[in-house]
Amino acid sequence: MKIVIPKIDVNKIASHSIKISEKTLAKSELANEFLLGIGNVVLFIQRIFTEMFSGRAEFKEFIYQCYQMGNKSLPLISVTGTIMGLVLTIQSRPVLAEFGAESLLPGMVAISLIREIGPVITGLICAGKIGSGIGAELGSMKVTEQIEAMEVSSTNPMKFLVVTRVLATTVMLPLLVLYADALGIIGSWIGANIKGDVTISLFFSQAFSQVGFNDFIPSVIKSFFFGAVIGIVGCYKGYNAGRGTESVGKAANSAVVIGSLLVLIVDVIAVQITDMLL
Amino acid sequence: MEKPELNNNQTDAIIEVKNLQIKFGKQEVLKDVTLNLYKGENLVVLGKSGSGKSVLIKCIVNLLTFKNGTIKVFGDDILLMNRNEISSMRKKIGFLFQSGALYDSMTVKENIEFPLRRIKSELNEKEIDEKVKEVLENVGLIDSINKMPSQLSGGMRKRISLARTIVIDPLIMLYDEPTTGLDPITANEISELIKNIQEKYNTASIIITHDIHCARTTADRLVMLREGEIYLEGNLKQFEESKDEMIMSFFK
Ligand SMILES: Nc1ncnc2c1ncn2[C@@H]1O[C@H](COP(=O)(O)OP(=O)(O)OP(=O)(O)O)[C@@H](O)[C@H]1O
Ligand SMILES: [Mg+2]
């Protein structure tokens, strides 16, 4: 079977922006660096895609990375998810009570968790936890010659380190988001029980009576992109770390900053698209 | 002065470096280096810190690329090789990194298995196990087999790294400061090991070192790098008898 990658001439885009960057060299150092950066990122992403579909896959490493990522971020996401649901419930109850609409509470909380709060909070947490981890790990591997050692052991580090991590974040993020959603609703149930008395099954059935596939699907798709962005940024920063030890910290730091920013930007775009389609 | 007893026959060279020039930005690290490595010989490379010794051997395995000059390994120009050819060239070369470059996330055993599984994929589990134990015994660290690199001392890391390099039975060995940071006893053992590898498998090696005992034990021929060029080339006797101040400071 041959997998056809859609024909976007990334090479052209990259070489174009590098060309523009060369022209502006004399004019502005900063703009130059920015354009060079874009060119390099585009080339990096293109390399990830070509490596992904060529040769033997590093399946074991991919599974190991998925396990690591899930394992490491689970506690943090559990706590945040529960607290988000709890707080959201406690905060919105008085307002709803004013209109006598308390029965809408579970549905409202579920919708806001699933559509927006779950994905974005999980995305930001993972940009911090997973993104910085990847940036620091690959950065220190770069600085201590471990990436070069892989290359001479006739292993393609782009495939072994980068492709596996990008795929792992892309697969794991949606799963973590769904998990955060579920815990958020449980947190909300706890919040509802502080001043009332609802069984968990009733609460869940009330919540899901308001939630449809229209709420789930866009949020899952969005989380895939969050995952891809976090993985790509972390890998790019780590893989291109400089030569000193201080560049490891820099790589981890900018992986978090740029990762979080891009998660929010992707979110805005995703919301716009969902709005247009539904 | 007597000529070194070496096979200076051109066809015997398995690495040929010709007019190599390396620049990083404006910094010219190697200006014009021409150097051959012949079958079965140990070539020691001396030179001050920062003289580009590590850069030189990284170019040979194509970890660094260059524009000016040629490098031929087993007679093939590495600039003309495609990815597969580079990869199969690297399978025949052992590279000991100056920093050791052990994989932090893997145990000692996994570190040594890594190149073995990828380069000698024909081996079965039992053979892999035996091979790992054999090289660990060679470097005297069989007890550390299940440790993580972070649990090892600097010298132990260096020796594990050496074990990882020799486990694939390479035809060419490139050692980047194999004995730096080791106590004199271990350093001598490692030098002996390098000599033994040469005798046993007839490997050709480039050994970068500041350790004059190591050079004495292992060298068939020496070169001194200085300011991006080969400053002196000769055998041990020629170096030891040299009246040049720079050389003497290495051999005092
Ligand atoms: N990838 C690189 N990018 C930029 N500069 C580099 C790079 N690699 C090496 N250099 C520079 O090249 C010069 C030579 O470095 P090299 O590591 O080869 O020295 P060396 O002879 O091995 O020294 P030492 O004995 O201390 O290991 C140094 O000034 C170093 O800063
Ligand atoms: Mg060096």
- Residues 147-206 on A with a CB inside 8 Å of B are 148-155
Task: Give B98's contacts in chain A (Cβ within 8 Å).
Answer: 145
Q: Do B104 and A153 touch (CB under 8 A)?
A: no
Q: Do A146 and B102 touch (CB under 8 A)?
A: yes
Contact A145, A212 (CB under 8 A): no
Helix axis angle, A105-112 to A164-195, nearest 10°: 160
Q: Which atom of ligand 1 is nearest to the CA of B52?
A: 18
pLDDT computed for residue A114 by the predictor = 94
Across the interface, of B91, B93, B101, the residue whose CB is closest to A146 is: B101
Mutate to test the pocket of ligand 1, among B55, B60, B227 (most ligand atoms within 8 A of CB): B55
- Bridge partners (DSSP) of residue A175 are none
* Tokens at B42, concatenated: 């140990």
Same domain, A221 and A188: yes
What residue in B sits closest to A146 (Cα-Cα)? B101
Interval A49-57 mean pLDDT: 87
- Centre of ligand 1 from the C-alpha of residue B53, in Å: 8
Domain boundaries, given as residue ranges, for chain B: 38-55+90-251
pLDDT computed for residue A25 by the predictor = 62
- Centre of ligand 1 from the C-alpha of residue B154, in Å: 21
Interval A41-69 mean pLDDT: 91
pLDDT tens-digit series, residues B9-53: 445 889 999 999 999 988 999 999 999 999 999 999 999 999 999
Most confident segment among A136-140, A272-276, B209-213: A136-140
Query: What is the H or E stretch that residue B54 is in?
Result: helix B53-60
pLDDT computed for residue A277 by the predictor = 86
Same domain, A34 and A86: no
Q: Tell me whether B53 touches chain A (CB under 8 Å).
A: no
Task: Give A144's contacts in chain B (Cβ within 8 Å).
Answer: 99-101, 104
- Centre of ligand 2 from the C-alpha of residue B78, in Å: 22
- Centre of ligand 1 from the C-alpha of residue B49, in Å: 8
> Which amino acid is it at B120?
K
Q: Provide, rounded to the nearest whole percent, the portion of chain A with pLDDT above 70.
A: 96
A154: left (phi over 0), alpha (psi -120 to 50) or beta: left
pLDDT computed for residue A3 by the predictor = 62
Q: Do A154 and B87 touch (CB under 8 A)?
A: yes
pLDDT computed for residue A194 by the predictor = 87
pLDDT computed for residue A196 by the predictor = 79
The ligand 1 site (C-beta within 6 Å) comprises: B 24, 29, 47, 49-55, 98
Residue A4 lies in a domain: no
Does the pLDDT at position A9 exceed 90? no
Beta strands in A27-102 (DSSP E): none
What residue in B sits closest to A152 (Cα-Cα)? B90
Q: Do B103 and A149 touch (CB under 8 A)?
A: yes
pLDDT tens-digit series, residues A59-85: 999 999 999 999 999 999 999 999 999
Q: Do B98 and A148 touch (CB under 8 A)?
A: no
Helix axis angle, A164-195 to A132-143, nearest 10°: 150
Same domain, A128 and A34: no
Placement of tokens 């490596």 in the chain: A51
Task: Give B104's contacts in chain A (Cβ within 8 Å).
Answer: 140-141, 144, 146
CA-to-CA separations, B47 to A221, B57, B162, B237, in angstroms, rounded: 57, 13, 22, 18
Contact B157, B139 (CB under 8 A): no
Task: Give B93's contacts in chain A (Cβ within 8 Å).
Answer: 152
Does the pLDDT at position A96 exceed 50? yes
Between CA A176 and CA A158 the distance in angstroms is 25
Residue A3 lies in a domain: no
Same domain, A127 and A255: yes
Percentages of chain A per state (helix, strand, coil), in multiples of 5: 85, 0, 15
Same domain, A129 and A237: yes
Q: How many domains does the structure of chain A reveal? A: 2
Placement of tokens 């922006």 in the chain: A17
Domain membership of residue A131 as a residue range: 58-277
**CA dihedral angle for residue A95, residue A97, residue A99, residue A101, rounded to 10 degrees:** 110
* Tokens at A210, concatenated: 């308001």
- Bridge partners (DSSP) of residue B226 are B229
pLDDT computed for residue A27 by the predictor = 64
Q: Tell me whether B91 touches chain A (CB under 8 Å).
A: yes
Q: In what order do the strands lie in the sheet with B204-208?
A: B76-77, B68-73, B13-24, B27-38, B229-234, B221-226, B42-47, B204-208, B172-176, B93-96
Residue A271 lies in a domain: yes
Q: Provide the 8-state DSSP code for B144.
A: G
Same domain, A63 and A16: no
- Atom 8, ligand 1: which residue's CA is nearest? B55
- Architecture per CATH, B38-55+90-251: 3-Layer(aba) Sandwich (3.40)
The ipTM (two decimal places) reads: 0.89
- Which of B82, B83, B96, B97 is the best residue to mutate to test the A interface, defined by the most A CB atoms within 10 Å of its own CB? B97
pLDDT tens-digit series, residues B149-207: 999 998 899 999 999 999 999 999 999 999 988 889 989 989 999 999 999 889 999 99
Q: Tell me whether B119 touches chain A (CB under 8 Å).
A: yes
SS3 B202: coil
